[in-house]
Amino acid sequence: MRFTPLEIPGAFRVDLEPIADERGFFARWWCEEEFTAHGITFRPVQASTGVSPRAGTVRGLHFQLDPVAEAKFVRCTRGAIWDVVVDLRPDSPTHRCWCSIELRADQGAGVFVPAGCAHGYQTLEADTEVQYMMSARYTPALARGVRFDDPRLGIRWPREVATISERDRTWPLLTD
């Protein structure tokens, strides 16, 4: 696997390094030892899948509060997404900054999202599937979000928003 740091400290693009032969290819997409070698302490305790039938669907921006703040490793396994990481860590040099990365199933890359960051994405193709591994169990009482269209963030989504849940549409705006 190849690890490329993103603009948010602790966030990485993780690319496959496939070994190909006449059968196709084989590649490792998760290895605790390789993550640790890149300074990433990540022990997944839960995995989830999201499927979106419509292109332009937005999911997020989600995070969890302590003591269950979660790191995530996210991969697009069918279709394509425009993935967004928002740094909400008060002591971070990139506090309230965001970065984005396109993840395509045909490329196999993933994104590591550190704890303390919100995460969301927009589907670029119909019938897109995304898989997540998380470092903490989903805890509804501590689940939070930031509005996808918060003017303080100024996220420029690549497509018109075709579908978004009521919950994601009504998360609070960031305050000072």
Catalytic residues: 62, 132
* CA–CA gap between residue 17 and residue 76 (Å, rounded): 16
Q: Give the helix ranges, DSSP H, for 7-63.
A: 32-37
Cα separations in angstroms, 28 against 1, 2, 19, 32, 112: 7, 11, 9, 11, 15
Instruction: Tell me the residue type at 131.
Output: Q
Among residues 66, 85, 89, 64, the alpha carbon closest in space to that of 74 is found at 85
Tell me the two tokens of residue 93.
């040099």
DSSP string over 82-147: EEEEEE--TTSTTTT-EEEEEEETTT--EEEE-TTEEEEEEESSSSEEEEEEESS---GGGEEE--
128 close to 148: Cβ distance less than 8 angstroms? no
CA 53 from centroid of its chain's CA atoms: 19
